[in-house]
Amino acid sequence: MIPPSGDYRYELLSAGQVVAVEESRLTAERLTGVRVSEGGRYEVEATLGPGAIVSAISLRYVRGPFARAARYQAETDLLRGTVGALAGRNATEVKLGRFREVDADLVLFKALIIGHARLRGVSRFTGRIASIDSNTLVAASRKQTYRQRDASGLRWLCEPLLGEFEPIDLDEQGRVVRRIDRRGIETVLTAFHSI
């Protein structure tokens, strides 16, 4: 089940203190989001194709005087793009997995990955996911495991790297309501407005 279209607001907490705010909008054709923290601003705009699969994505971050931007296009079995910083641009490509999943380090990307698994009727899968690092904007193709932790299908566990686990809780609509990442940062859904 793909999460409903709407505006999402998440707070990222460390030791109970808000360290960042993530605001995203999901429609049938696009996923856009901004995460703002004391350290900077991270922006994502993804074009979604049939089945809410990422077909193109643009990313940008600004930290103090430093800025970086990247663009990727999903082609056949590759995610190809360029990453630019200061005066240079580097071409990069990574292999897409059999489900063509992309994770650009915003909560809604994890919600889409789990939504696709639920639509396929699986309670566990291991697959290659093109993960884009929000600090470098460079994509890497990593095998990740997602597995359901309860019979309702609302509690999941993501293993982004071998031996690291991130619990993810959904509501009945498929929205991520809580996630704890491998660094202990808790992400909580604080507002949702349907569009």
pTM of the model: 0.95
Q: Are 176 and 168 in contact (CB under 8 A)?
A: yes
Q: Domain locations in the chain?
A: 6-194
Rounded Cα gap, residues 113 and 56, in angstroms = 16
Query: In Å, how far are 80, 118, 181 from 189, measured between CA atoms?
Result: 32, 20, 14
Rounded Cα gap, residues 55 and 73, in angstroms = 6
Beta pairing, strands 78-85 & 88-95: antiparallel
What is the pLDDT, as a whole number, of residue 182?
87
Q: Are 173 and 162 in contact (CB under 8 A)?
A: no
* Among candidate residues 43, 39, 93, the one with its CA nearest the CA of residue 68: 43
The per-residue pLDDT string of the chain (195 residues; one tens digit each, 9 = 90 and over) reads 899 999 999 999 999 999 999 999 999 999 999 999 998 999 999 999 999 999 999 999 999 888 999 999 998 899 999 999 777 888 999 999 989 999 999 999 999 999 999 999 999 999 999 999 999 999 999 999 999 999 999 999 999 887 889 999 999 999 999 999 988 999 999 999 999
